[in-house]
């Protein structure tokens, strides 16, 4: 049984093995629990309610996660579309404004969405979802050398990853390379939804540079495109569909970012040497 829980991590007893033998020890591991999202919508006189999704996520920042999830799935367009959100441990109840007529076909999930899968349980083709940017993407250029120091800056503030080794991170940077915000989660897409939701809630413009701790799959590109994030940099590799859609949305996509090198897959007009 866990000795202690701190939302995003759990302290448990383990047996540690090495070539010298084994010994009793303790370890922090990343928390993973289901978040049940229910949504209420309709006119004042005719309100409806339904279960929208079960998301496997790391507890913490649930408010931001719900906002980012609803936005990236096309249920809402702005934070002001939400009348109220009530979160309680592993559940969230969302009330939409009466004027909103949401379309749920792209966001409905009739099974658990695993923390490693951003599209699991969907009932329609997620690649058909029209998630082109709602606002124009910036074409401002960034010097290539700025990116080399970003992974170290992000790692410094990955508090829960440094404890557990089991959490992904998404971070926003400005054009000068300053860290603006960072969110962690056992799921890559959840970390990004938390980051986007937090930005929407603050009603500040989306920063132009997004850094990801892992690989880049197509649903990550779709979320970034929906939020009009111009530059996506990742420590890991992109998939073929991620590159295809980054080019389609005119996003700058960087992969395998290290201390002194990276691969550029699309949007080279924003990067200067």
Question: Taking the C-alpha atoms of 234, 239, 240 and 246 in order, what is their torsion angle to the nearest 10 degrees?
Answer: -40
What does the alpha-carbon distance between residue 242 and residue 65 come to, in Å, rounded to a whole number?
22
117 belongs to the catalytic site = yes
Q: What one-character DSSP code corresponds to residue 251?
A: -
| Residue 79: CB atoms within 10 Å | 16
3-class secondary structure per residue, 115-176:
CCCCCCCECCCHHHCCCCCCCCCCCCCEEHHHHHHHHHHHHHCCHHHHHHCCCEEEEEECCC
- CB neighbour class for 212 (10 Å; exposed up to 12, middle 13-18, buried from 19): buried
DSSP code at position 81: G
d(CA 104, CA 49): 12
Q: Which of these, 117, 67, 66, lies nearest to 90 by C-alpha position?
A: 66
Contact between 116 and 60 under an 8 Å Cβ cutoff? The reply is no
Among the listed residues 117, 120, 237, 241, the single catalytic one is 117
Could you tell me the CA-to-CA distances from 15 to 3, 18, 29, 46, 160 in Å, in that order?
15, 10, 14, 57, 22
Cβ–Cβ < 8 Å for 200, 79: yes
Which residues are the active-site residues? Answer: 117
């Amino acid at each position: 049984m866990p000795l202690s829980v701190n939302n995003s991590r759990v302290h448990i007893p383990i047996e540690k093995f090495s070539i010298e033998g084994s010994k009793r020890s303790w370890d922090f591991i990343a928390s993973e629990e289901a978040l049940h999202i229910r949504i209420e919508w309709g006119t004042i006189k005719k309100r409806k309610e339904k279960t929208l999704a079960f998301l496997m996520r790391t507890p913490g920042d649930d408010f931001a996660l719900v906002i980012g999830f609803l936005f990236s799935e096309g249920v809402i367009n702005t934070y002001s579309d939400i009348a109220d959100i009530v979160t309680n441990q592993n559940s969230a109840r969302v009330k939409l404004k009466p004027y909103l007529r949401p379309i749920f076909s792209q966001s409905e999930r009739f099974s658990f969405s695993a923390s490693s899968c951003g599209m699991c349980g969907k009932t329609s083709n997620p690649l058909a979802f029209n998630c082109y940017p709602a606002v124009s993407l910036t074409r401002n250029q960034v010097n290539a050398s700025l990116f080399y120091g970003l992974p170290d800056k992000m790692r410094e503030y990955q508090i829960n990853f440094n404890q557990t080794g089991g959490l992904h991170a998404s971070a926003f940077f400005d054009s000068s390379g300053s860290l603006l915000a960072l969110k962690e989660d056992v799921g890559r897409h959840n970390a990004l939804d938390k980051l986007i939701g937090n930005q929407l809630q603050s009603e500040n413009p989306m920063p132009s540079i997004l850094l990801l701790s892992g690989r880049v799959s197509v649903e990550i590109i779709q979320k970034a495109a929906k939020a009009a994030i111009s530059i996506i940099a990742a420590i890991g590799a992109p998939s073929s569909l991620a590159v295809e859609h980054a080019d389609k949305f005119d996003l700058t996509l960087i992969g395998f970012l290290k201390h002194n090198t990276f691969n550029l897959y699309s949007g080279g007009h924003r990067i200067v040497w």
